[in-house]
């Protein structure tokens, strides 16, 4: 059985070990050591990386109580040989910050808002914690208060002790959740009036710092509905600084593009949205005018009583333009079978006055399939597009013939 050094000393990054065995697991050479400081993936915390005898460790997993170190391609170390091992400390410490920050955040959510943690995920840039309460219980002010309370636990630099405990010790602790695997409990405690006071106690096999101050800071991000509960995004330690720098870079780039100071961005953006909405209404009005004129022109150029199949060019050949033309023709009592080319795709729109006749949604699905695309709609109005631009005229003629038969 491998001695799990990471459970007794989360700060151990260099150690010597003997190779107990080597085999293939998941298509990679998997080495078992007699002792290891490499943490295997589990409890929401990713596995460590590093080197064993100079070979890169690509993953660490625990299978049936055995810790397997999956190595990059190369000659595996010989069983029985001694190897020098090194854990990627930057990755380990980052995971310690995130994981312990989650413990503090979960403790605050439960204590202040009765929101128990269901699961935790430690991602490459941010982390998430899933809470059993709906988003309505966690508005912005609640998230802000939880963030502030969790950071107070960080900045008080409280003692953290992660170790196996006796049944009596476990029974005496105010656990946030029951211990399911083993009796390793992470306890955060403070001292008041000369007596130790437990701030949080939770079963956990992960790696944690010795004091909460090493978490640095906790920043809570967005919250969204996740199943019946809420998923809250957060980051701790150095990741908070990275997120701040990324946000600052985006602000600088955005303000440079809009030629304003970063502090002016909200007002400038709001003004642009307002102007954009006004211009969009102007464009919609122009399209409506143009489509009415085009519908009048097409109506006069085709015999009455027959489906009007036509290819529309220019701005009216877009999906929005075709819809406006088709509906204008339907308003004039015509069955419209119109198409155009925009953005490297052939677009179709079919419309008719309300009443009996071929179901245009069915007709369009068949026509747009000939273009290699998709679409659909109701009996009176249907729209779609496909990449086979060269078959547009064929699709229009085929649709017109089917409508005439229908």
Class of domain 3-87: mainly beta
pLDDT tens digits, residue range 332-380? 999 999 999 999 999 999 999 987 788 999 999 999 999 999 999 999 9
Q: How many CB atoms lie under 10 A from the CB of residue 282?
A: 10
Q: What is the pLDDT of residue 398?
A: 92
Strand order in the sheet with 195-203: 159-164, 184-192, 195-203
Does residue 42 surpass a pLDDT of 90? no
Three-class HEC string of 168-236: HHHHHCCCCCCCCCCCEEEEEEEEECCEEEEEEEEECCCCCCCEHHHHCCEEEEEEEEECCEEEEEEEE
Does residue 405 surpass a pLDDT of 70? no
Q: How many CB atoms lie under 10 A from the CB of residue 15?
A: 17
CATH topology (fold) of 279-405? Diaminopimelate Epimerase; Chain A, domain 1 (3.10.310)
Kindly report, as residue ranges, where domains of CATH 3.30.980.10 are found in the chain.
93-247
Does residue 43 surpass a pLDDT of 90? no
- Map residue 325 onto helix, strand or coil: helix
Nearest to 389 by CA among 365, 368, 363: 368
pLDDT tens digits, residue range 144-202? 999 999 999 999 999 999 999 999 999 999 999 887 777 899 999 998 777 889 999 99
**Which burial class, exposed, middle or buried, applies to 100 when counting CB atoms under 10 A from its CB (0-12, 13-18, 19+)?**
buried
Neighbouring residues of 341: CB distance < 8 A, sequence distance ≥ 6:
317, 347, 389, 392
Kindly report, as residue ranges, where domains of CATH 2.40.30.130 are found in the chain.
3-87
Kindly report, as residue ranges, where domains of CATH 3.10.310.40 are found in the chain.
279-405
Architecture (CATH level 2) of domain 93-247? 2-Layer Sandwich (3.30)
Q: What is the pLDDT of residue 5?
A: 96
The sign of the dihedral angle between the CA atoms of 276, 277, 278, 281 is positive
Global pTM reads: 0.72
Neighbouring residues of 299: CB distance < 8 A, sequence distance ≥ 6:
308, 329, 332, 334
Residue 140 near residue 230, CB atoms below 8 Å: no
């Amino acid at each position: 059985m491998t001695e799990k050094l990471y459970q007794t000393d989360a700060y151990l990054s260099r150690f010597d070990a003997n190779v107990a065995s080597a085999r293939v697991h998941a298509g990679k050479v998997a080495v078992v050591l007699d002792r290891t400081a490499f943490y295997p993936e589990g409890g929401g915390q990713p596995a460590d990386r590093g080197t064993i005898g100079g070979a890169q460790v690509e993953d660490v997993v625990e299978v049936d109580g055995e810790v397997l170190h999956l190595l990059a391609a190369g000659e595996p170390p010989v069983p029985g040989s001694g190897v020098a091992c090194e854990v990627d400390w930057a990755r380990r410490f980052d995971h310690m910050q995130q994981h312990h920050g989650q413990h503090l955040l979960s403790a605050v959510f439960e204590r202040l808002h009765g929101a128990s943690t269901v699961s935790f995920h430690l991602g490459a840039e941010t982390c998430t914690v899933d809470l059993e309460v709906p988003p309505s219980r966690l508005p912005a002010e609640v998230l802000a208060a939880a963030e502030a309370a969790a950071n107070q636990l960080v900045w008080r630099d409280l003692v953290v002790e992660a170790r196996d405990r006796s049944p009596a010790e476990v029974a005496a602790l105010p656990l946030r959740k029951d211990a399911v695997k083993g009796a390793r409990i992470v306890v955060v405690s403070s001292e008041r009036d000369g007596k130790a006071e437990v701030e949080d106690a939770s079963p956990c096999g992960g790696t944690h710092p010795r004091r909460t101050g090493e978490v640095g800071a906790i920043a809570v991000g967005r919250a969204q509905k996740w199943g019946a509960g809420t998923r809250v995004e957060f980051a701790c330690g150095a990741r908070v600084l990275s997120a701040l720098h990324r946000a600052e870079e985006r602000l600088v780039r955005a303000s440079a593009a809009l030629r304003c100071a970063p502090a002016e961005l909200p007002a400038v953006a709001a003004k642009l949205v307002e102007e954009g909405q006004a211009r969009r209404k102007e464009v919609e009005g122009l399209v409506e005018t143009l489509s009415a004129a085009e519908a009048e022109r097409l109506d006069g150029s085709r015999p009455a009583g027959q489906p009007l199949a036509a290819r529309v060019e220019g701005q009216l050949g877009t999906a929005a333009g075709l819809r406006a033309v088709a509906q204008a023709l339907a308003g004039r009592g015509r069955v419209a079978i119109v198409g155009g080319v925009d953005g490297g795709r052939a677009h179709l729109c079919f419309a008719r006055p309300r009443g009996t006749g071929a179901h245009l949604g069915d007709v369009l699905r068949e026509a747009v399939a000939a273009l290699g695309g998709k679409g659909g709609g109701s009996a009176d109005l249907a729209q779609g597009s496909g990449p086979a631009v060269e078959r547009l005229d064929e699709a229009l003629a085929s649709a017109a013939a089917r409508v005439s038969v229908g």
